Amino acid sequence: MAEGFPAGGNHTGPGGDSATGNGSAEPLQKSPAPAFRSRRQSRELAGAGLSRRSMMVSGATAVAAAGGTGYLLLRGGSGEAAASASTALSGQTSTAAGSTGAATSASAGSTASSAGAGTAATPSGAAATKAAAAGTTTKAAKKITVDPDLLLGRASYGRTAASAQLIGKLGASAWLERQLKPASISDPGGQAVDAQFPDLRWSIAQARKGMKIGAWDVMQDVCGHHLGRALFSSRELFEVMVDFWANHLNIACPSSEVWDTRHRFQIDVIRKHALGSFEDMLLASAFHPSMLTFLDGTNSSKASPNENYAREVLELHTVGVNGGYTEKDIQRSALLLTGWTFWEGKLTYDPNRHYTGQIKAFGFSSANSDASKGPVTQRKYLRHLANHPKTAKNIATKLATHFVSDSPPQSLVTKLAQVYTQNDTAIVPVLRALFGSAEFAASSGEKIRRPMEQLVASARVIGVKNGSSSKALMDVYYLSKEAGHAPLGWSMPNGFPDVAESWQSPASALQVFNTTTAMVHGWWPNKMTLPGPEKLLSTKPTTRAAVITAAGKKVFGRTPTARERSAANTLLTGTKLGTSFSAGSWDQKETIALTVSLFLSAPAHLSV
């Protein structure tokens, strides 16, 4: 079973580190090294007629990849360190990381569909009106000057043949504007994912009725759906933002506290407001039974106020850990936010549980004298927080960290915070300013993809296609989980780390690249449509040199560099594969598969 947030919630103070009440999970980078493949995979591979040599060579490629990634993650290591590596990839890493002095490639997301199981991708009602009004306060979008490959790498989960062709046709500016209006994008891939998870349309009452006691089916489906849309939707930037906000307003999934509500939080809060306004999203999250349950808001009353949500809404959701709030601000916020219960699937506000009396918290003041109007005062307080300058800075910093650099320029943070404030917390103008900034244009090589993002990017670039049922996506979900990055699976309220130093894990890298190698060879996950070595390349080269060139164009979108070509030659020479071969031969297929596998483990693919 997945790890849920411990009873009693997460407790942190200003400037403090998050810690759970009964201990927390080990950091991801300390997870034990997983086996090359599960027993189930071993059985299926054994029955596929694969030679022992082929399997061993593929494993060696993954080891090389993990070694190269380990060096890359050192961020700023010397050229000598790369030269001392004993893998074929080390020389390539020397160029990509050593010579530039920067680790690379950010998580961004490409795919995903209509907003998800029964919802619209764009805000509706009041949210839509406010977002539209906010957008009109900004001048017409300027044409941006940015490398299309950089934009595609950061504002999606990685290039596909179709997305690369489209951005080449439209140009970076038009592609971005199209992505900022996801409802206008035809999305058969995302709709197909939606159709595989019909239970995500259930109400809370239906989930309670339809779920077997002890089964976490709906929560697991939320995770599979999230991953599927990242893989296959055409509304690519929208899905990146869904993941970003789900991480910002994190509720662990699966988690025992939210077994009947987490799917509705994903739909009614995150997906509904992902490109709307942050104020609307914050209000929707604060009074959603999933958040109230996860952070103990439903256990908070005037007689026994619980500080968990009051603390996290300041520290994580709005002004940030360095926002300047005090313990008294937290305590007073907790009193103000009392009165909610969630029992037998029904959310209720009970005036008898709400604290009344003068409240002053973080610059907000209210007489708070009428318990029946408690929710009105609570909403005013949350709007105050959403529009606070410290919140503007916190949101701007997180967006810049995610899309630009682990240490984003303060010039960009200041600019984005101003746009956020000027546009009444609307998200689209902030993204437009971010991707159009000089800081973004100059940020190539500043971000590294996290494990799930690496898996998704690799699957997308080689052309993996969805299977006929949700089981195919759940297989990929478990592969991500084994790599330490299960979608939506962070157990604490602060969400997955978004900087490279938190992901320096050879074990995780090895798992990702073992999985990638299996995908490239067409072995696993076998419920999806995998191209296999014979369909990876549009041409069928019969020489090693031509394979390396074609594989570079497939993975990187360009001809491989001299370093990349040398690394591939080193690996292929070590396998005793020839420099020329017959069309359709095993040697040709294995040369293609190993070269593509190696390039998927290269810094140029792990980064943009």
- What pLDDT sits at residue 213? 53
Question: Do 427 and 341 lie in a common domain?
Answer: yes
Question: Do 412 and 510 lie in a common domain?
Answer: no
Cβ atoms of 406 and 499 closer than 8 Å: yes
E strands, 203-329, are none
- What pLDDT sits at residue 396? 98
- What pLDDT sits at residue 109? 31
Cβ atoms of 113 and 197 closer than 8 Å: no
Q: Which residues pair with 364 in a beta bridge?
A: 361
Q: How many CA atoms lie within 13 A of 109 on its CB side?
A: 27
The length of the chain, given as a count of residues = 608
- What pLDDT sits at residue 468? 87
Tokens linked to 37: 């493949």
Helix pair angle (427-435, 410-422), 10° resolution: 150
Cβ atoms of 581 and 82 closer than 8 Å: no
Question: Do 92 and 131 lie in a common domain?
Answer: no
Cβ atoms of 38 and 25 closer than 8 Å: no
Residue 26 lies in a domain: no
Write the CB contacts of 151 (distance below 8 Å, at least 6 apart in sequence). Answer: 167, 172, 175, 176, 435
- What pLDDT sits at residue 236? 98
- Return the amino acid letter for 545: A
Question: Do 140 and 199 lie in a common domain?
Answer: yes
Rounded distance between C-alpha atoms, residue 421 and residue 398, angstroms: 15
pTM confidence score: 0.81
Give ∠ CA 399-404-409 in degrees, rounded to 5.
Answer: 90
Q: Give me the number of domains the chain comprises.
A: 2
Report DSSP letters for 74-86, one per residue: TSS--HHHHHH--
Cβ atoms of 531 and 464 closer than 8 Å: yes
Question: Do 93 and 135 lie in a common domain?
Answer: no
Tokens linked to 476: 């990929």
Rounded distance between C-alpha atoms, residue 392 and residue 278, angstroms: 10
Question: Do 324 and 402 lie in a common domain?
Answer: yes
Last residue of a domain, one of 441, 461, 479: 441
Residue 3 lies in a domain: no
Question: Do 510 and 597 lie in a common domain?
Answer: yes
- What pLDDT sits at residue 30? 30
With the C-alpha atoms ordered 282, 493, 321, 74, is the resulting torsion angle positive or negative?
Answer: negative
Per the rule left: phi > 0, alpha: psi between -120 and 50, beta: everything else, 302 is alpha
Q: How many CA atoms lie within 13 A of 431 on its CB side?
A: 26
Residue 460 lies in a domain: no
- Which stretch of DSSP H or E encloses residue 347? strand 346-349
Residue 523 lies in a domain: yes
Write the CB contacts of 26 (distance below 8 Å, at least 6 apart in sequence). Answer: none
The two most distant CA atoms of the chain are separated, in Å, by: 84
Question: Do 414 and 278 lie in a common domain?
Answer: yes
Question: Is the bond leading into 497 cis (omega within 30 degrees of zero)?
Answer: no
Residue 538 lies in a domain: yes
Rounded distance between C-alpha atoms, residue 275 and residue 21, angstroms: 34
pLDDT tens, position by position, 331-357: 999 999 999 999 999 999 999 999 999
Last residue of a domain, one of 391, 418, 441: 441
Question: Do 227 and 342 lie in a common domain?
Answer: yes
Tokens linked to 408: 């984003």
Cβ atoms of 305 and 279 closer than 8 Å: no
Inter-CA distances, 416 with 20, 404, 413, 554, Å: 33, 12, 5, 35
Indicate the Cα dihedral angle 165, 166, 169, 171, nearest 10°.
Answer: -120
Cβ atoms of 237 and 483 closer than 8 Å: no
Question: Do 541 and 393 lie in a common domain?
Answer: no
**Domain range enclosing 339:** 125-441
Question: Do 429 and 311 lie in a common domain?
Answer: yes
Question: Do 82 and 138 lie in a common domain?
Answer: no
Residues of the chain with pLDDT under 50: 1-138
Residue 208 lies in a domain: yes
Residue 14 lies in a domain: no
Last residue of a domain, one of 398, 425, 441: 441
pLDDT tens, position by position, 174-207: 999 999 999 999 999 999 999 999 999 999 999 9
Residue 64 lies in a domain: yes
